[in-house]
């Protein structure tokens, strides 16, 4: 009886464990690591970690969000996404992805990943 109860509990919890947060609200001047450091440190789960992929950042708010890509602490590129827009870019396997809010406004963004560039 105990084994079957444990098995049922495990089966019902597996789908919950597989989901990661994909939408984020950042306070003014806040930065958040999305991916690149590993389990327990990343804001999102990149299902393609360890290989090159595409990152899709959707600005679901009205304030501009800044995206920063780093490798071993060195900034590779930065770009901004205006409210209501999205941007897709190649994220190499050893790069870190950060979202940065501006000094004065909260930002809202959604982050996802794909092996192939999504069709526009």
pLDDT band at 9 (very low <50, low <70, confident <90, very high): very low
For 72-117, write each residue's pLDDT tens digit. 999 999 999 999 999 999 999 999 999 999 999 999 999 999 999 8
CA triplet 81, 49, 34: central angle to 5 degrees? 35
For 17-38, write each residue's pLDDT tens digit. 344 468 999 999 999 999 988 8
pLDDT band at 1 (very low <50, low <70, confident <90, very high): low
Cβ atoms within 10 Å, residue 73: 6
pLDDT given for residue 19 in this prediction:
40
From the number of C-beta atoms within 10 Å of its C-beta (0-12, 13-18, 19+), residue 108 rates as: middle
14 pLDDT exceeds 70?
no
With a CB cutoff of 8 Å and minimum separation 6, the contacts of 46 are: 35, 53, 91, 113
**Neighbouring-strand partners of residue 104:** none
pLDDT given for residue 13 in this prediction:
37
CA triplet 105, 40, 104: central angle to 5 degrees? 5
pLDDT given for residue 5 in this prediction:
43
Domain 21-114 has CATH 2.60.120.620: no
Q: Where are the domains of the chain?
A: 21-114
* Residue 48 DSSP symbol: T
What pTM does this model have? 0.79
């Amino acid at each position: 009886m105990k084994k079957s109860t444990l098995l049922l509990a495990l089966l019902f919890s597996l789908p919950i464990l597989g989901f990661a947060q994909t939408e984020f609200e950042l306070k003014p001047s806040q930065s958040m690591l999305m991916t690149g450091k590993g389990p327990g440190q990343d804001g999102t789960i990149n299902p393609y970690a360890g290989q090159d992929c595409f990152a899709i950042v959707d600005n679901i708010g009205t304030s501009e969000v800044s995206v920063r890509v780093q490798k071993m602490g060195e900034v590779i590129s930065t770009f901004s996404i205006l409210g209501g827009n999205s941007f897709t870019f190649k994220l190499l396997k050893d790069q870190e992805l950060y979202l940065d809010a501006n000094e004065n406004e909260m930002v809202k963004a959604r982050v996802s990943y794909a092996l192939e560039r999504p069709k526009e």
